[in-house]
Structure 1
Amino acid sequence: MRRPELVKKEVSGIAEYVPGKSIEEIASKYGLDPASIIKLGSNENVLGPSPKAIEAVIAHASGINIYPSADASELVEAISVYTGFPVENICAAGPGMDGLLDNLMRLLISAGDEVILPIPTFSYYEIAARANGAVPVYVSSGQDFAFDIEGIMNAESERTKIIFLCSPNNPTGRLVSEADLRRILEHTGGLVFVDEAYVEFSDCNLAHLINEYDNIIVGRTFSKAFGLAGMRLGYGLMPAWIRSEYMKIATPFNISVPAIVAGIAALSDTLYLQESIRCAREGRDFLIKQIPFRVYDSQANFVLVDVAPLRSRDVSEVLLKKGIIVRDCRSFRDAGETLIRVTVGTPEQNEKVVVAFKEVSVA
């Protein structure tokens, strides 16, 4: 028997999060050999994790009967070395950056507060905010998906609590400039959450602004450049006053022992990180030049393809039948019916993607 009246009213209208398709799902649906499928729909690191991270997980596997440190302090120390920020400005989080977002919404949002969402963007901002009673205010992107800075500032009201900026943005790959971010920080009476999940692939890093402004939080993840998506590990960079309040409500022991040791090891393997970044950047340039549709410039480990006059649903279906998993962007608010997001793969995978798109374009 269903009892929907027991669920808080803020949740009833939330659309369920749409994840990328799995290899197992596509293999079953189309009768394909799982080994033949390439998964380029979730922006994972196609090179996998650092061997040092794998070794660290194996070495500490026998200790998983013991609780991890309550605040993952040893991982925070490693993040401090990597980022150059003191531990007073860092919060480790799980599961992934989503855990950071959930805790921040629990800390900051009261019923009726407004959050500003430049769209299209990562859908979990809206889910986490609305689940805590926030009212989303949408600001559509400008030409070529550039952030509409004037529109964002004009959308503010006395109830604005958080402005979400994903840079590089998912799914567009676009950046917010430092100058524009400064304008927003100085204009708003609320907080600005800057999602830098893809920052390692980018030419722009905005985290240094936490040294100048008291109303900015920067989210990061180990899921992309570090290849630890399965560990669900993230962290936040923020002014010390926010961290102090955040730690009051952060779930204790929310990062597992395997995730902590994998994160520390991954941070130490700078050569592997550099190779992951090189592979993504070179592959990104290849896809932008070779895919025979309009491909938007990107600062992430993916590209956004506009297959107009075809429809993204139809093109995605053709690619899935060929064993190539991409992301149909129709589930992103305001993304339209013709956009497909493609994760940068290995050189061999990228070649297959280009061939498949060429076959679609002449069909």
Structure 2
Amino acid sequence: MLPIRECVEQTSGYIPGEQPRTNDFIKLNTNENPYPPPLEIFEGLQQELTKVRLYPDPVSTQLRKAAAKVFGVSSVNILAGNGSDDILNIAVRTFVNPGETVTFLDLTYSLYETIARVHGASVIKIPTDNRFAINQPIICPKAKLIFIASPNPPVGKHLNRDYLEETCERATGIVLIDEAYADFSDENHLDFLNKYDNVIISRTMSKSYSIAGMRVGFGIASIPIIEQMNKVKDSYNLDRIAQLLGTNAFNFQEYFKVIWQKVRQTRSHLIESLKALDFLVFDSDSNFVFASSQWIPASELYKKLKERKILVRYFENPRIKDYVRISVGTDQEIARLLEVINEIKSGQEFT
């Protein structure tokens, strides 16, 4: 086994999507919610700001109670985190010793590998098919922890539910199901918590609740799992403002449900419009679409869009170098994106 320092030196760090320094970009590259939260979630903010000299609640009590009502569990089954990435880190530190195995799909959220390797864990990647899906359960007896995203990047589709059930049944370690995008679909796996005592569900408020800048996430699991994870988390892993805004946001379910439906409608329009522009586009259960132009390299499309102040996500991974990932923006943002793509396509035709 490599020493931790060598593991870190040999690990490619996670590269977040670009955050422009000016406000003149249409930002469709990091899957943020294009719509703001209701102004009412800022109620109590001024009072909370007067307390910033004091540490926040170390276990985010009110936030967890609010989350428990939404997720249909007890607050003792919830660990609050600094975004769901914090939950992923805590899970690795809690259940995996350096040298032990972490398993995930090839391809999936790239942070899984970064976290595992920095921790000094061994990694086993489970291949996906040519549609980036699984065609059997994920069976890895050596795995102390299996990361599963559903919906799963890069496509953003839910994985086969029967295969996931069998994965949980046969796993010898912990199975963490990452549901960062579940609110943009009709499906989730919260019911697995009643069936399997080795399952953690992770959720984030960054996408569906429009507070990505606050970094609020959750791990939902059995009491024994949450108790162990609580021993590992940072002492004060959510600040006062994040706890307040997250708690308040949960009180506006009807507001956010309207937004989620609007994103889904815009997503359908985007998919059909891209197909009409000669793109290969996957169906999506997320707030993004994954598409490949049949007439321009993806890297060039990314650059041309950026020149016109539109950011999408391009990955240099060999398996997906022909694709771009496009976050679902407002109707106006998507209309502008499609207009520019049409202009680029017309320019290609006449050169």
TM-score, structure 2 as length reference: 0.93
Provide the C-alpha distance between the structure 1 equivalents of 2:115 and 2:40, rounded to a whole number of angstroms.
33
The alpha carbon displacement at 1:221 in A equals: 0.3
Give the superposition deviation at 1:262: 0.2
Give the deviation of 1:308 after TM superposition. Answer: 4.1
> Which one has a larger percent helix, Structure 1 or Structure 2?
1
Correspondence for 1:295 = 281
- Is 1:283 the counterpart of 2:247? The answer is no
Give the equivalent residue in structure 2 for 1:19: 16
State which of 320, 329, 344 in structure 2 corresponds to 1:360. 344
Structure 2 Cα separation of the partners of residues 52 and 103 of structure 1: 32
Q: Give the aligned partner of residue 97 of structure 1.
A: 84
Indicate the SS of the match to 1:236.
strand
Q: How many residues align?
A: 343
1:50-199 correspondence runs (5 A): 50-94=38-82, 96-150=83-137, 152-153=138-139, 156-157=140-141, 159-199=142-182
Equivalent residue, structure 1, for 2:195 = 212
Stretch deviating more after TM superposition (350-359 or 291-300): 350-359
Cα shift readout 1:77-126 (whole Å, capped 9, x = no counterpart): 111111110112111111x1111111111111112211222122111111
Name stretches of at least 5 consecutive residues in structure 1 with no aligned partner: 25-33
Question: Between the two proteins, what is the percent identity of the paired residues?
Answer: 29
The letter of the residue matching 1:347 is: D
Letter aligned with residue 101 of structure 1? L
Write the mapping of 1:298-317 to structure 2, written as runs, cut at 5 A.
298-308=284-294, 310-317=296-303
Shift of 1:171: 2.2
The residue aligned with 1:30 is none
Other-structure match for 1:335: 319
SS of the aligned residue for 1:247 comes to helix
1:270 positional shift: 1.6
Q: Is the 8 A contact 2:4 2:120 kept in 1?
A: no
CA distance in 1, matches of 2:323, 2:144: 31
What do residues 145-179 of structure 1 show as CA deviations (whole Å, max 9, x unaligned)? 222435x32xx14x311111111112211112332
Q: d(CA) in 1 for partners of 2:319 and 2:256?
A: 31
Distance 1:348 1:163, change over 3 A: same
CA-atom RMSD in angstroms: 1.8
Structure 1 runs of 4+ aligned residues shifted over 6 Å read none
Q: Tell whether the 8 Å contact from 1:50 to 1:227 is kept in structure 2 after alignment.
A: no
SS at match of 1:23: coil
Which residues of structure 2 form unaligned runs of 5+? none
Corresponding residue of 1:345: 329
